[in-house]
Structure formats: C-alpha cells, structure tokens
Amino acid sequence: MSYPYQIKSLEEYNSAYKKSVEDPEGFWENIAENFTWRKKWDKVLEWNFKEPKIKWFINGKLNITENCIDRHLKTLGDQPAIIWEPNNPEERTRVVTYSRLHKRVYQFAQVLINNGVKKGDRVCIYMGMVPELAYAVLGCARIGAIHSVIFGGFSAQSIADRLYDAQAEFIVTCDGAYRGGKDIPLKSIIDDALIGNRIVKRVIVYTRTRTPISMLKGRDVWWEDEMEYAESQIEKDNIIRMPATEMDAEDPLFILYTSGSTGKPKGVVHSSAGYMVWTNYTFVNVFQYKPGDVFFCTADVGWITGHSYILYGPLSAGATSVMFEGIPTWPDAGRFWDIVDKYKVNTIYTAPTAIRSLMSYGLEPLKGKDLSSLKVLGTVGEPINEEAWHWYDENIGKGNCPIVDTWWQTETGGILISNLAGITPAKPSWATLPMPGVQPVLVDEKGNEATEPDEDGLLKGNLCIKAPWPAILRTTYGDHDRCRTNYFATYEDLYFTGDGALKNKDGYYRITGRVDDVLNVSGHRIGTAEVENAINMHAGVIESAAVGYPHDIKGQGIYAFVIYSHMHIDEEQTRKDIFQTVSRVIGAIAKPDKIQFVNGLPKTRSGKIMRRILRKIAEGETKNLGDTTTLLDPAVVDDIQKGKL
C-alpha cells in the first residue's frame, strides 16, 4: 500500500502546511480521495465555532471498517494486522492477519445483530487488552453501533455513570483480565455497576481468566457460544456477503469519556469520516510509516491513544499493530524491550511516565535485548522532560532513531503538534510544529493574541486553535451546550485546549501543562472536581481540594488538602481509608499521592477555593503565593504551609 500524501522532506511539509491553511477544502479533498467511499461528498467543510457546528465531507457515505479491513484483503490478506502479546510471556502469542480480522469482525457484527443491536445503539465495551476487544470495537463500527470503551481500571460507580450518560443498552466484557501480577474481576465490576440499572438488555462475556462469575439468565450470554452460532449462520446463509452498514460521514463512530472540570465525566463524540482521515494521515506522516513495518503502541484501547494508534490509524493504513495485554514492569522491567526484540518492532510509541519508570531500573533490563530493528521512537500523553528524552534517545534509540514528541487530546482525535520522524526537526521536550491543517494561537486570559516575546524570545499563553481539523470532536454526548462551554466559549471563535504553551522564534511549540482544573496523571486526564467528589464521599471528610504537583514518575501527582470532622485521628490509617474510597468511586488511577489534613482551605469571601495558592504550596513554593488579601482568612495559608508534606 502506498501513501501519496506522505510528506518526505521539510520542503514538502512547508508546502503542505501552507496549502492546508490557504485552501483547507482542496487540501483535505485530495487526502480523502485515497479512501474507499460508497458515495463521495457534496462539500468538504462547513463550520462555525460559536454553536459549535462542524461538518466534514458533507453527505459522503462510507464505513470505516471497509477502510480498515476490506480494502486490504486482496493485497494484504495474509499480512498480520494485529500481533497480540499476552500478559504472561509464557503464554502463546496470537497473530491476527487481515483475513482473519475480517472474518472475526464479520462474526461479531452478526453476534451484535443477533442480540438486538442496531445502528446508533450505544455499546459499552469493558475488556482487557485481548484481540476480542478489537473485534468488538470494529464489529460495532461495522453495523453502525456507537462504541464506548471504558478503561479496565475504572470502578463500578464510574462505569454506572457512563452507562447512564450514554443510555447504553448493551455491554461487552470479559470474565476477568490480567494486568501484570493482578487479576481484575471485570464481570463482577460490571455486575456491581448494573445494580439498579434498568436500561442494559444484554451483557456479552468473553472467557479470559476463567474466574468464577455470575451469569444472569436472559441478560448475560457467553461470547464463545454467540460467535459459534454466528459462524454457523454465516456458513449456512452466506451472510459473509452482507455489506457493512452505510454511514454518513458525520454519523458518530464512538463516545469516549474524559474528565472535565466538573465531577461529571463528559462523553466526547467523534465522527466516522473526519476521524478516519485524520488518524490515518497523522499515523502515516508523524511516524513515517513504511508498508511492512511493525508498530507498537503501548497504550490501552480504553484511552484515545489506543483507539487512534493501535486500531483505526494503523489498520486504515494496512499496518501491523502490536497489542500488549500487560504492563512494562512485569514480570520484569525489560518487558517492552523483550517485545521489541521478539517482533522486530520498528516503531515504539509510549508515555513519558513509562520511560521515567523504566529509567529508575537502570540499564540492566536492556542487557541482551536486540533493539536494532527500531527506526522511530514516540512519546504521548504529556510533555516529556529532557532527562527522559535523552535516556530514551541514547539507550533505546542508540542515537539513531528520531523521537516524535506528540501533543494531542481525546477531543482532538489524533496528533495535532509533533515533529515528523526524520523529516522535520526535533527538539528535546518540545512538540515542535503543527500538523498540516492545525492553526495554533497563543492568547492571554482575555483572549488577546500573544505578540510580545519574553527575555528568552519566547511567546507564552493559553493554547487555542483557530480552525477545525477533520477529527475535532463534534459534541459531548447528550449535552451539546457542555461542548460549547468547555471548548468554544472561553475565547471567541477559538477552540481552547485547556493547556498552556510556549512558542519560540522557529515556530516550535512546547506544552507547559494544564491551565484549567484538570490534572494530567501518567498521561491520563483526571478532573480535580471528580477527585474531590470522591474524597468527600468518605464519611469523615468535611471538605477537600485537589491540585497537581510535579511527580518524578507520573509527571503530575495529586495532592489533596482535606478537612476532617475531627483532627485527633490516626492519619496514616485515615489516608488509607480515603484511598480506598477514591478507588471505589473512580478507580485506583485517581488515588491522591499525598493527603494533607488541614483545619481550613484558602477561600475568597464569596466562598471560592483559591486552588492557585494550594497548587503553589504543593509545588514547594513558599514566598510567591500571589495576592492573598482577598481571602476570607489569610492565616489559613500559614497553617497549611507549616503542615506541608
């Protein structure tokens, strides 16, 4: 498979970028011509950021799975689409060719139809990292059902909230999942999430861990039985000829829940056509993918990175994608490098958190591992610090592999700012240049464009985007005004990313982190309000405030200031109890790293908590706390500083 739109030089990048800004419709029309359409579009783009209303490839008809699977069958049918590496390195690897993927996705699409799933229905997927997860996701897309994958680390309460918000009637799960040395009881967690739920009609359960589970008659069915029946149907009635459901370019493909600055998770909705074109274009260009290369994205499909760069981006490009069930440090800290060696991986795409964690084990885990197949290294989820960048460059890439430092979000669908591997210049800890079609701008708090560089020649401001790219979110599920308020109302006619950034004289961007009340912990966004709501559910807690602070491994840790009902407590035990509460309400991923018990919180006279002050204290700042004269009781700040952990 060739990619006529793959950028091969800095000059080509500059030319593509210029055209994408001057004539976005012409630019993206040329790219979109390279995909399989049932009907071509009438118009490329309509948009305004006020409502917001954004439409790409208007009235175009397609099905994304025909672009990810069917169109490759003639030339790539026997090529591996997915190489699955199990949690336990002693267990058998599974290689799923494009032909086999086609068969399994067809089968599971028939399973969904047999169980009453129709176009537009929402299907919640809560599974471990097994190939069946890919079959479930693509099976939904095949028939036009909207999938909503939930990360296996979320609690029953978090799942219940998402099920209710999406009004999901169908669930696909596993009996359990393996993750490092842990067995996660997925079906039991689903059962807890369904207590009181009157909407869910069917739960399809795949057998992975053989954990004893409850199966309710009339609601719960086994994956294996359903797939066997679907296969007999296909053989008997030749259903294999049944075409994929025709989708409008703007039909929703999936909902993915992400944390916001309120306690309620918001369901980001991505479209069918624009998302497909963008994930493919960014995959091929950022990683400079060559046909036959082996691509290893270490993310979980429960996050946007897994959606875009394990499944849709690579598969639409006819690539070979490695899917890993486990974690980088189990059974030892050499696991990633074993996988690179075993499958002769050409590109690895992972998080700075993972790199920093592996750095802490030294170079011993690298001994005896052949990493010579690597051509490109990538990072995702958060800005990478210089020390980790150089460690990655020297010890993994051996100084021969370009590192792509990618910046993007759940809401953007795919990579927005990054160097292109070996094509555009890299700069440690800088995301560098925007992708063609992306028009960033830095603004101050009032929305005025930053024009005055500081003494280092850097522009500084809040990062916004001036115009839509094909994979921009279309709405937040069931609440379009929330989409407008969160992303388009802060600054007029701009998409606000929620991140701060720097821009140097070469036009390179460096992301400095969140400027809203959202934390970025190990590359995963968690709303402070969500964490606070969970802490406040603990019986003895009166009030709490959560902020981020620099963390050596995670990038950002969670520091919670908690007012407890009585101060004479066993602090260590109470912290453990609060940790347990947060894990139960959200999941272990949201547990605070530090909990400081305090007598009061810094509040304005109107009762607003001044998190800016708490953030500085958590970061170790003692003097420059800013103006505290508006506080109801400035003495509270001194008390908090004295008790800092």
What are the pLDDT digits (tens) for 470-509?
999 999 999 999 999 999 999 999 999 999 999 999 999 9
Residue pair 462/449 in contact by the 8 Å Cβ criterion? no
Q: How far is the C-alpha of 248 from the C-alpha of 236, rounded, in Å?
A: 31
Give residue 22's pLDDT. Answer: 98
- For the stretch 95-125, pLDDT in tens is 999 999 999 999 999 999 999 999 999 999 9
- Assess whether pLDDT exceeds 70 at residue 627: no
Q: How far is the C-alpha of 101 from the C-alpha of 103, rounded, in Å?
A: 5
- Assess whether pLDDT exceeds 70 at residue 388: yes
- For the stretch 23-76, pLDDT in tens is 999 999 999 999 999 999 999 999 999 999 999 999 999 999 999 999 999 999
Percentage of the chain beyond pLDDT 70 is 96
Q: How far is the C-alpha of 377 from the C-alpha of 392, rounded, in Å?
A: 8
* Better-predicted residue by pLDDT, 517 or 415: 415
Kind of pairing between the strands at 440-443 and 403-405: unpaired
Percentage of the chain beyond pLDDT 90 is 75
Give residue 508's pLDDT. Answer: 97
pLDDT tier for residue 637 given thresholds of 50, 70 and 90: confident
pLDDT tier for residue 154 given thresholds of 50, 70 and 90: confident
The strand pairing partners of 254, in sequence order, are: 147, 270
- Closest to 543 in 3D by CA, of 602, 589, 583: 602
CB neighbours (10 Å) of residue 508? 20
Q: How far is the C-alpha of 239 from the C-alpha of 113, rounded, in Å?
A: 12
What is 181-217 written as a DSSP string? TEEE-HHHHHHHHTTT--S--EEEEE-SS-------T
CB neighbours (10 Å) of residue 359? 17
- Assess whether pLDDT exceeds 70 at residue 240: no
Residue 590 — φ and ψ, nearest 5°? -100, 5
Lowest mean pLDDT among 41-50, 198-207, 345-354, 548-557: 548-557
Q: How far is the C-alpha of 298 from the C-alpha of 85, rounded, in Å?
A: 11
Q: How far is the C-alpha of 224 from the C-alpha of 585, rounded, in Å?
A: 32
Give residue 237's pLDDT. Answer: 67
pLDDT tier for residue 449 given thresholds of 50, 70 and 90: very high
* Better-predicted residue by pLDDT, 610 or 78: 78
Residue pair 318/72 in contact by the 8 Å Cβ criterion? yes
pLDDT tier for residue 439 given thresholds of 50, 70 and 90: very high
> What's the Cα-to-Cα distance from 346 to each of 272, 289, 373, rounded to whole Å?
29, 9, 5
- Assess whether pLDDT exceeds 80 at residue 242: no
Q: Which two tokens stand for residue 377?
A: 């290294």
- In a 3-state reduction of DSSP, which class is residue 547? strand
CB neighbours (10 Å) of residue 466? 14
The average confidence (pLDDT) of the chain is: 93
Answer whether 0.85 is exceeded by the pTM: yes
CB neighbours (10 Å) of residue 384? 26
- Assess whether pLDDT exceeds 60 at residue 212: yes
* Better-predicted residue by pLDDT, 614 or 404: 404
- Assess whether pLDDT exceeds 90 at residue 600: no
Q: How far is the C-alpha of 61 from the C-alpha of 164, rounded, in Å?
A: 30
In the chain, the domains with their CATH numbers are: 66-245 (3.40.50.12780), 520-642 (3.30.300.30)
Q: How far is the C-alpha of 73 from the C-alpha of 121, rounded, in Å?
A: 28
Give residue 241's pLDDT. Answer: 60
Residue pair 255/269 in contact by the 8 Å Cβ criterion? yes
- In a 3-state reduction of DSSP, which class is residue 139? helix
- In a 3-state reduction of DSSP, which class is residue 594? strand
Residue pair 522/328 in contact by the 8 Å Cβ criterion? no
